[in-house]
Structure 1
Amino acid sequence: MDKDKALAKIKKCLALAKSANAHESATAMRQAQALMEQYGIEHSDVLASEAAEAGAKSGATKQPSNWEATLAGVVGRAFGCDLVFSGVPGIAAQWLFIGIGPKAEIAAYAFTVLLRQCKAARTEHIKTHLKRCKPAGKTRRADEFCQGWVFAVASTVRAFARSEEDTTAIDAYKAKRFKNLDKLDARDRSGGRDYGDSMRGHRAGRNARLDHGVGAVGGAQGRIGHG
């Protein structure tokens, strides 16, 4: 039996240890403890195994824009996930969604779909309203548009009420997976607010949708979208 199989068996034993039958509970706990000692598995390993991560490509290589970081946070909260921004300089970075069960994968899927829609809306906004802007002004105003778009999506999100047990498992996973995490400093390129662009973004963001028929969508639609 390898370590992964031992871990799965330990989890089953610990579940049985919650039995109301005192004898059955004690036997299961002894078995779990024996396996943990035999395979060098700690309680933190058991906790961490409840969590999983799924990656979604970022639009940045090093430092994400404010609106993209906000969108990732909105999606993470919707599915009870923690977020880690990970990347190697010069290569497109990714957002890692860390959650319980399938929630991480669903969150990564939802973020990918929404980011694609926001970028498409941004391109259309630039083409329609910002053609005559200088590059710096175009970027600033396009970011304002995206921020408005994300705020519209955020207003439809129902945050997932995460249990204390889930939080403990996610924290244990992060402690084992990531030794040193720095606070993310997203780029704010807006410079000053242009409410016209922001309002156009908000109106466009009301049309954000997660399509039917793809593996993770069922769960995603339940938490994000306009019903």
Structure 2
Amino acid sequence: MSAQQIDKKKLERAIRKIKHCLALAQSANENEAATALRQAQALMREYRLTEMDVKLSDVGEVESALFRTKRRPAWDQQLSTAVAEAFSCTTLRRRKWSTAKGQVTECATFIGVSPAQNIALYAYEALHTKLTQARKAYCSAVRSGVHRSQYSAETAGDHFALAWVWEVQSKLKALVPQRDDDSPEPPTTGQGLVAIQAQEKALINEYLATLDLGKSRKGKSVELDLNAKNAGMLAGSKVDLHAGIARGGEEVHRLT
């Protein structure tokens, strides 16, 4: 593998290119944003397949600007988990005191081998914006009687959002291809990527061991409203990640 390794300066250039693509991926032009995101993914793939000497110091964490003044709902937690898994990261619920709010707030944190956590954060916040808008529209439809539910509009909206995330989760995995089908690659490429992902997971676990983490609580199983579930899955199936993962030029708003 040493013959295929690229020097440190080339790696630094690759990281700068990835970050540049991520910046372009926030463009208001959806076609430009999708192209930039795919370029970032391709660079990430090249980076991983050519650099095996990844160290604990390469593991980093980023915190979302989106926060709640109380516990994040199950659909929000599920979304951050789905995104983290797609980009070989780990996500944590970060609770801290907010001087501005005068109370404890909670947000999602992504931990990964740089710059994977940055890509995961971008995808999470972009999808969160889409899902928040879709959930709000569904809640309004329940209140107006367009959709029937045995639950309150807010609860039905939560069920809708959970189903939306489940449907989008498989799309997220496909968003990060293992290889380009149009480009010839050696048969060992897939095996090499698996080895790298295993190495990264071990480093992330080593990093997590240095943190003072409390025990995570398992979420309760919820019997979803059938109408909300079907509507959420239908809406999730229509999400085109390649064409519309960009925020559409919108600012990221904090949650109330």
CA distance in 1, matches of 2:131, 2:229: 13
CA distances 1:91-125 after superposition (whole Å, capped 9, x unpaired): 43111111112110110111011111111011111
> Is the 2:61–2:112 Cα contact (8 Å) retained in structure 1?
yes
CA distance in 1, matches of 2:86, 2:74: 18
> What is aligned with 2:64?
56
1:137 aligns with 2:171: no
Change (3 A) 1:155 1:186: same
> What is aligned with 2:74?
66
Classify the secondary structure of the residue corresponding to 1:87. strand
1:164 aligns with 2:198: yes
Q: How far does residue 129 in structure 1 lie from its aligned partner after superposition?
A: 2.6
> Is the 2:123–2:245 Cα contact (8 Å) retained in structure 1?
yes
Q: How far does residue 59 in structure 1 lie from its aligned partner after superposition?
A: 4.9
The number of residues matched between the two structures is 167
CA distance in 2, matches of 1:213, 1:138: 27
Could you tell me which runs of 5 or more consecutive residues in structure 2 were left unpaired when the two chains were aligned: 1-7, 9-53, 98-102, 177-193, 250-256
1:97 aligns with 2:106: no
CA distance in 1, matches of 2:119, 2:169: 17
Instruction: Find 2:84's aligned residue among 76, 82, 102.
Output: 76
Between stretches 54-63 and 71-80, larger displacement belongs to: 54-63
Identity, % of aligned pairs? Answer: 23
CA distance in 1, matches of 2:76, 2:138: 17
Q: How far does residue 198 in structure 1 lie from its aligned partner after superposition?
A: 1.1
Amino acid aligned to 1:202: M
1:196 aligns with 2:231: no
> Is the 1:70–1:150 Cα contact (8 Å) retained in structure 2?
yes
Classify the secondary structure of the residue corresponding to 1:80. coil
Q: How far does residue 179 in structure 1 lie from its aligned partner after superposition?
A: 1.9
Q: How far does residue 187 in structure 1 lie from its aligned partner after superposition?
A: 7.1
> What is aligned with 1:180?
213
Q: How far does residue 174 in structure 1 lie from its aligned partner after superposition?
A: 1.6
Larger CA Rg, structure 1 vs 2? 1
- What does residue range 28-67 of structure 1 map to in structure 2 within 5 Å? 47-67=55-75
Change (3 A) 1:169 1:76: same
CA distance in 2, matches of 1:179, 1:104: 20
CA distance in 2, matches of 1:51, 1:79: 14
CA distances 1:155-187 after superposition (whole Å, capped 9, x unpaired): 2122775622211211222222x1233204557
> Is the 1:57–1:93 Cα contact (8 Å) retained in structure 2?
no
Q: How far does residue 212 in structure 1 lie from its aligned partner after superposition?
A: 8.7
Classify the secondary structure of the residue corresponding to 2:108. strand
Change (3 A) 1:71 1:203: same
> Is the 1:81–1:98 Cα contact (8 Å) retained in structure 2?
yes
Classify the secondary structure of the residue corresponding to 1:193. coil
Amino acid aligned to 2:238: N
CA distance in 1, matches of 2:140, 2:227: 15
Greater relative contact order structure (CA < 8 Å, 6+ sep): 2
Superposed CA RMSD in Å reads 3.0
